[in-house]
Amino acid sequence: MITVENLTKEYAGFTAVDDVTFTARPGRVTGFLGPNGAGKSTTMRVMVGLTPATSGEVTVAGRRFADLPNPGREVGVLLDASAQHAGRTGREILAITAAIMGLPRTRVPEMLHRVSLTEDEADRRVRHYSLGMRQRLGIAAALLGDPQVLVLDEPANGLDPAGIRWMRDLLREYADQGGTVLLSSHLLHEIEVVADDLVVIGRGRIVAQGSKADLLAAAGTVVAADDRAALERALSTAGLASHPGTDGALRVEATTREVGLAAASAGIPLTRLADADGAGLEEMFLELTADTQRDDLTQSHSEGAAA
């Protein structure tokens, strides 16, 4: 399994990863979800020894990555599918990787087959690969040493719908056989279909984590009234915390009954009252994403103004 404990990573005063703690367990696919810039890649880079942590601890298969005697046999890593020597063929890249790990060359055709790269594609130079082909090659390299743990950063990028389906089935099978899979994505729906557990990160901090089933079923109520300010006051008088959703309605961590009674006792007519049903996760994720998009807009706006 993978354990991340109180991990913090700072870059010259900027905190990219802020006190992050989570575990990815064997037999489960853990989805690491967050908008661009949330700190997913940084966390994964620390995990596999590419970047030192500012503080905190990460272990893979019970040890720090640097202490694994033959890391490729313990953990398969795909962080950047394009970080390959572009002048080599896919087959050469796998053969070199196999040699470094002390594996028989017969693993190469096995893995090419596993990721559905044809003989012809395997003999082309990587510079001529599509991003989807690079992702397949990267998966083949990650699986080469038959590791128990997989760490994959946005592996679905560049794959067509059939490729995404293929990847999903492969990861499912791998976890069902007892493997630990951590995969990141900035798309909720992409990860929702394959993950058993979710860790949601925004601006370097964990904002939610748990089993997908629990997160999607997260209790709560969606409520709206024409006079939103009065509704907010009534809820707060009743001791119920609320926060605005992106659709103008309020999200309240209470049952529909509690919310209904609070509104009725303040004499407020409601235009909507419903169980949040998992909308909470989507809503939370949209808010995270909206924030980053606003930041981007502000940034490009001020850049435009400066120019």
Binding residues for ligand ADP, rule: CB under 6 A, are 11, 14, 16, 34, 36-42
Residue 46: CB minimum distance to ligand ADP, A:
10
Strands (E), the chain: 2-11, 14-24, 29-33, 55-60, 75-78, 149-152, 180-185, 197-202, 205-211, 221-225, 242-244, 250-252, 270-275
The tally of CA atoms less than 13 A away on the side-chain side of residue 292 is 16
Select 34 or 163, whichever has its Cβ closest to ligand ADP. 34
The CA R_g of the chain, rounded to the nearest whole Å, is 23
Select 135 or 148, whichever has its Cβ closest to ligand ADP. 135
- Contact by Cβ (8 Å): 79, 44: yes
Residue 135: CB minimum distance to ligand ADP, A:
16
Residue 171: CB minimum distance to ligand ADP, A:
19
Select 11 or 125, whichever has its Cβ closest to ligand ADP. 11
Cα 3 from Cα 1, distance rounded (Å): 7
Select 31 or 245, whichever has its Cβ closest to ligand ADP. 31
Pull the structure tokens for residue 253: 């961590």
Angle subtended by helix axes 161-176 and 131-143, to nearest 10: 10
Select 199 or 263, whichever has its Cβ closest to ligand ADP. 199
Query: Computed from CA positions of residues 165, 170, 171, 172, in that sequence, does the dihedral angle turn out positive or negative?
Result: positive
Residue 6: CB minimum distance to ligand ADP, A:
17
Cα 37 from Cα 194, distance rounded (Å): 22
Residue 45: CB minimum distance to ligand ADP, A:
7
Pull the structure tokens for residue 54: 């500012």
Select 14 or 104, whichever has its Cβ closest to ligand ADP. 14
Select 46 or 223, whichever has its Cβ closest to ligand ADP. 46
Please name the residue ranges forming H helices in 177-278.
188-192, 212-216, 228-237, 256-265
Q: What is the dihedral of CA 210, 182, 111, 62, to 10 degrees?
A: -110
Q: What is the dihedral of CA 188, 61, 168, 279, to 10 degrees?
A: -20
Select 168 or 203, whichever has its Cβ closest to ligand ADP. 203
> Which among 199, 201, 200, 197 is positioned nearest to 211, based on CA atoms?
197
Residue 100: CB minimum distance to ligand ADP, A:
26
Residue 35: CB minimum distance to ligand ADP, A:
7
Residue 4: CB minimum distance to ligand ADP, A:
13
